[in-house]
Structure 1
Amino acid sequence: MAKQPMLKFVQIERDMPEKRAADARKEDFHEIYAEYAAVKAAEQASRCSQCGVPYCQTHCPLHNNIPDWLRLTATGRLQEAYETSQATNTFPEICGRICPQDRLCEGNCVIEQSGHGTVTIGAVEKYITDTAWDMGWVKPASPVAERSESVGIIGAGPGGLAAADMLRQAGVQVTVYDRYDRAGGLLMYGIPGFKLEKEVVERRNRLLADGGVRFELNCDVDAAKFAELRAAHDAVIIATGVYKSRDLSMPGSGLGGIEKAIDYLAASNRKSFGDEVADFDNGRLNAEGKRVVVIGGGDTAMDCVRTAIRQGAVSVKCFYRRDRANMPGSQRETQNAEEEGVVFEWLSAPKGFTGDDKVAGVMVQKMRLGQPDASGRQSPEVIEGADYVEEADLVIKALGFEPEDLPTLFGQPDLPVTRWGTVKAAFRTGATEMEGIYAVGDIVRGASLVVWAIRDGRDCAEAILEGFGAKTAMAAE
C-alpha cells in the first residue's frame, strides 16, 4: 500500500520560510523572507488535508487549484505544480509574495480552523514559480496561429497585464499604453522592494514583450489619444487603476512636509532603480533623520512606515482611527512593521497640523468605537478632552485612492461612471455601455487587491475572445 503523502498536519507543524532578523532587514529594501528548500516546501505542502470542499480555493479570487498543486509539490512533481498554478493565475510568484493570504486562502484553511496552523500556501506558491523560472519552465506566449484582431490596453498594472497575457496567448495583437516609463503600475512604483523585488516584475514584463505584447510607455492618454486607440483597435480595455489620493481638509493641511503616500513610495522605488529624484535628493520625500507620522491603517500605510524605517527615520508612528482588530491592512505586515520599530497609535485620528511654513506636529484626537455604521463596522467617536500634539517633521497621508475623472480626461462624456467615479462595467466581462470599450481592476472596483485585478483582466480577456469568436462565426456565414 502506497504511503499517504498528505494530511501530515498532525505530525508536522506550520513553518514559514526563515525571516531575516528585524535589525538586519531594516537596513535594506530586499525581501525579508528566504526561499523554501525543496525538502521544506514538500514537507509544508504535505500538511494539506485535501479536504472535500477546499475553502482555500473558494476564498481565492482566482479560485486557484491550491490542493492540487500542494499535492504535486509534496510528491516532487514541481513542473506539474507550476503548470497547475499558472493555469488560473497569470502572476503566481507575485501573488505568493504580496497577497494577504491571512485574509484569503490561508485565513480560510480548514486545518487552521481546527487549531493546527494553516498550510503556508503563499510561500509554497512563491517557491513553485521561482523554481519554474530557475528551471526554464516559464515560456513566453507562442500562439498556435496569429489573429487579425487587436486590443489596446490603457494601463500596465496587474489587471492590464493579465488581460494582455491571455489575449496574446490566443494570438490577438496587443498593445499596452502606460503613462509611466516602466510597466507594472503599483507593482513597480507603489509596492516597496522588501515585499516585491522589482526584478520579479521586470522579468514578467520581458516575458510579455518576448511573447509579442507591444508596450508604449511614457504615453499619456488624453481625448485625442483615446479616439486614436478606438480607431486603431477592435477593443480597448481601461485598466488605469486609481491613483488620485484621498486628502485631508483640516487646519494646517497645506503645510510643507505633509505628503501623499503614492508620491513618497514612488520616489523611494525610483531611487532603487538609480533614477534621479529631485524631491528625494532635496530631502522632501526622504525620511532620513525625521520624526515620521503616517496616517492610515491599510496596506499602503504599512508600506510607508516600513519604508521610513529603512530610510533612517528617527521615529515612525502610525495613527489609525479604529483599533487593531478593525484595521484593513494585513496583520502579517503590521507584525513585521512592529518588529522593525514602528509604533502604532490605535484609536487616534488627526484633527489638524501645527507649524508655520512646515509641519511641526499633528493635533491628535483620541477615539473610541461606537455603534456599527451602514457597513457593519463600529464607527469611531471622539473622546472629548483627550487631544494632544504629536511632534512630526514628515507626515504621510495613506488614506486610500480615488479614480480620476476619466470621462473628462479621455474626452468621453458617454463613458458611464458610478457616483464614486469608478467606471460602470458588466460583472465578469468588464464590458461598458460603449461599444468595444471594457474596464477592469481598481478603476471598476475602487482600490482593491492585486489578485482581484488579475481576476478581472483574465475574465475580460476571455469575454473579448468569445466576442471575437462570435464575430468570426457570423462573418463565415
Structure 2
Amino acid sequence: MAKQAMLKFVNVARDMPEKRAPDLRRGDFNEIYGEFAAAKAGEQSGRCSQCGVPYCQSHCPLHNNIPDWLRMTAEGRLQEAYEISQATNTFPEICGRICPQDRLCEGNCVIEQSGHGTVTIGAVEKYITDTAFEEGWVQPITNGGERSESVGIIGAGPGGLACADMLRRAGVQVTVYDRYDRGGGLMTYGIPGFKLEKDVVMKRMAQLEEGGVTFRLNCDVGRDITFEEIRENHDAVLIATGVYKTRDLQAPGVGAAGIVRAIDFLTASNRKSFGDPVEDFDNGKLNAEGKKVVVIGGGDTAMDCVRTAIRQGATSVKCLYRRDRDNMPGSQREVSNAEEEGVEFVWLSAPKGFKGDSVEGVIVQKMRLGAPDATGRQVPELIEGSDYVEEADLVIKALGFEPEELPKLWGVEGLEVTRWGTVLADFQTHETSLPGVYACGDIQRGASLVVWAIRDGREAAQAILAQLAGGAAMAAE
C-alpha cells in the first residue's frame, strides 16, 4: 500500500493549486492560490521519490521532515502529517505560504534535478496545517507544570513568537514587548494579504495568548520602558526586533513629496485591511489609486509594493532594477505573478534623480552588467548618455532594511554590534555580549527570511532553557 502511494513522479506531472485569474485577483487582497483538495494533495505528495538523501530537508533552514509528512499525506494520514510538520516548524501554515520554496526545498528536490518537476512542497505544507485548524488538530499550548522563571522577548515577529511558543511549552513565564498594536511583526504589517491573509497570523497570536504568553503591545523600548527595566524584570531577555530602518537613496530631488518608504506604504495598506483609520492613506499620500507608480528595488519587498499598487488602482506600475531578471534577489515566482497582474519591469535601470517639488518623474540612468565582483555577481555599470525621464506621481523606495542603532536607541552599554549594525551574537546559542541577553532573527543576521527567524527563535529558546536549568542547578547547590 505504502509503495503504491509513492513514486508517482514518473507518470504524474507537477501541479499547483489553481491560481485565480489576474483580472480577478487584481481587485482584492485575497490570497491568489486556492486550496488543494484532499485527493490532489495526496496525488502531488505521492510524487515524492522518498530518496535516501533528501536535499529538500537539508536545504530547509528548519530541516523539516518533508519526505515523512509527504508520505503521510499521500497515504491519507493527515493528522500524523501535521504532527510531523509541527514538530520542527512553529508556523508551517505561514511558511507554506510565504517561503521562497523555489530557492529552498523545491529548488533542491531530487526529481526536479532529474527533469520530472519538483514536488509542490509549499502548497502541501499549507494544506496540511489549514486542514489541521479546520479539524481541530491544532492543540492549545500546554506544559507539564508552570515554572517561576520568566523571559522577556522584545519583538513579536516570527523569531520572537517561535521562541515564546517553545518557552511556554516548557512552562516558562513569557512576556513579549512590541512597538505595534498587533503582534506578528512584518507578517502582519509588511507582507500583503494576497501572500499571507491576516487571519492566518492572528490565529497563531490567539493560540499564544491562550497558552499564557503575555503581550505588551504599543510598547516602544527606550520610550515606554527601558531595556534595563526589562532585564531587571526577567531571568533572560531575547532581542528579536527585526530590522526596520530603510536603506535610503542619495540623489537630487529625493526629498520631494510623493517619494515614500516601502514599509510605510505596505503598513498603511495592511492597516486598511484590518479596517483601521489611516490618515495618510485616506488623503492619498500612501495610496496608489489613480497614480503612475514607480517602485525602486528588486527584492521581495519591491514585489509586494508593485502588486499592492496594482490592487489599489494605480494607472501604471513600473519597477526599476539595476540588474537583469536573472540577477534579481526577489522570487522569480513573484516576478511572474506581478507581470501577469500588469506590472512592467524596467531592467538594468537605476534612479539618478527626481523631478518636481511634488514628484513628477524619475530621472533614470540605464546600466549594463560588467565584470563580476568578489561575490561573483556582475557589477552594474552606467551607460553614459542613456538618461531619460520616467513619469511618476508616486515613487516607492524598496531598497531593503538595515538595523536600528539599538545601543544608542536604548541607551545600553556593553551590547556589542557588528560593523553592519546587527547585534553580535553566537549563531548557535544566540548569546550576546551581555549575560542573559540573546538575539535572533533579522536583528542578528540582517534582513532575511521568516523561516530563518523561526529557526533562530527555536534555537534561542533551547539555549535560554539550558541557561535557566543551569541557574536552577546552581541555586539548589
Note whether the superposition's TM-score is higher than 0.5: yes
Aligned residue type for 1:180: Y
- Partner residue in 1 for 2:169: 169
* Alpha-carbon shift at residue 429 of structure 1 (Å): 1.2
| CA contact 2:289–2:309 (8 Å) conserved in 1 | yes
- Partner residue in 2 for 1:418: 418
Aligned residue type for 2:21: A
- Partner residue in 1 for 2:381: 381
Residue deviations 1:83-139 (CA, integer Å, cap 9, x gap): 000000000000000000000000000101111110000000000000000011111
CA distance in structure 2 between the partners assigned to 1:195 and 1:466 by the alignment: 37
- Partner residue in 2 for 1:95: 95
**Do residues 300 (structure 1) and 309 (structure 2) align?**
no
Answer with 159-168 or 137-146: which moved more. 137-146
| CA contact 2:2–2:75 (8 Å) conserved in 1 | no
* Alpha-carbon shift at residue 363 of structure 1 (Å): 0.5
- Partner residue in 2 for 1:438: 438
Residue deviations 1:206-229 (CA, integer Å, cap 9, x gap): 000000000000001017521111
Classify the secondary structure of the residue corresponding to 1:28.
Answer: coil
Question: 5 Å matches for 1:314-329?
Answer: 314-329=315-330
Classify the secondary structure of the residue corresponding to 2:7.
Answer: coil
Classify the secondary structure of the residue corresponding to 2:160.
Answer: helix
Answer with 365-374 or 315-324: which moved more. 365-374
Classify the secondary structure of the residue corresponding to 1:15.
Answer: coil
* Alpha-carbon shift at residue 3 of structure 1 (Å): 4.7
Classify the secondary structure of the residue corresponding to 1:460.
Answer: helix
Question: 5 Å matches for 1:23-38?
Answer: 23-38=23-38
CA distance in structure 2 between the partners assigned to 1:315 and 1:84 by the alignment: 45
CA distance in structure 1 between the partners assigned to 2:401 and 2:191 by the alignment: 14
- Partner residue in 1 for 2:229: 228
CA distance in structure 2 between the partners assigned to 1:150 and 1:398 by the alignment: 38
Question: 5 Å matches for 1:4-15?
Answer: 4-15=4-15
- Partner residue in 2 for 1:468: 468
Classify the secondary structure of the residue corresponding to 1:317.
Answer: strand
TM-score between the two structures when normalised by the length of structure 2: 0.99
Aligned residue type for 1:268: S
- Partner residue in 1 for 2:246: 245
Question: 5 Å matches for 1:234-313?
Answer: 234-313=235-314
CA distance in structure 1 between the partners assigned to 2:34 and 2:189 by the alignment: 23
Aligned residue type for 2:304: D
CA distance in structure 2 between the partners assigned to 1:317 and 1:130 by the alignment: 35
* Alpha-carbon shift at residue 318 of structure 1 (Å): 0.3
- Partner residue in 2 for 1:363: 363
Aligned residue type for 1:247: D
Residue deviations 1:219-240 (CA, integer Å, cap 9, x gap): 0101752111100000000000
Classify the secondary structure of the residue corresponding to 2:176.
Answer: strand
CA distance in structure 1 between the partners assigned to 2:269 and 2:474 by the alignment: 52
Residue deviations 1:175-203 (CA, integer Å, cap 9, x gap): 00000000000000000000000000001
Question: 5 Å matches for 1:168-247?
Answer: 168-222=168-222, 225-247=226-248
Answer with 466-475 or 397-406: which moved more. 466-475
Aligned residue type for 2:392: A
- Partner residue in 2 for 1:394: 394
- Partner residue in 2 for 1:453: 453
Classify the secondary structure of the residue corresponding to 1:180.
Answer: coil
Aligned residue type for 1:362: V
Distance verdict in 2 for CA 1:446–1:50, change over 3 Å: same
Aligned residue type for 2:245: K
Provide structure 1 residue ranges, at least 5 long, that are not aligned to the other structure.
Answer: none
CA distance in structure 1 between the partners assigned to 2:405 and 2:233 by the alignment: 23
| CA contact 2:56–2:105 (8 Å) conserved in 1 | yes
Residue deviations 1:25-46 (CA, integer Å, cap 9, x gap): 0000000000000000000000
- Partner residue in 2 for 1:141: 141
- Partner residue in 2 for 1:408: 408
- Partner residue in 2 for 1:44: 44
Following superposition, which runs of at least 4 residues in structure 1 exceed 3 angstroms of deviation?
A: none
CA distance in structure 2 between the partners assigned to 1:393 and 1:2 by the alignment: 59
Aligned residue type for 1:433: S
Aligned residue type for 1:238: I
* Alpha-carbon shift at residue 464 of structure 1 (Å): 0.7
CA distance in structure 2 between the partners assigned to 1:353 and 1:4 by the alignment: 62
Residue deviations 1:413-450 (CA, integer Å, cap 9, x gap): 31100111100000111100101110000001110000
Classify the secondary structure of the residue corresponding to 2:464.
Answer: helix
Question: 5 Å matches for 1:327-342?
Answer: 327-342=328-343
- Partner residue in 1 for 2:54: 54
Question: 5 Å matches for 1:108-147?
Answer: 108-147=108-147
* Alpha-carbon shift at residue 408 of structure 1 (Å): 1.0
Distance verdict in 2 for CA 1:366–1:76, change over 3 Å: same
* Alpha-carbon shift at residue 266 of structure 1 (Å): 0.2
Aligned residue type for 1:340: E
TM-score between the two structures when normalised by the length of structure 1: 0.99
CA distance in structure 2 between the partners assigned to 1:225 and 1:124 by the alignment: 44
- Partner residue in 1 for 2:350: 349
* Alpha-carbon shift at residue 2 of structure 1 (Å): 6.4
CA distance in structure 1 between the partners assigned to 2:204 and 2:66 by the alignment: 22
Q: How many equivalent residue pairs?
A: 476
CA distance in structure 1 between the partners assigned to 2:114 and 2:154 by the alignment: 45
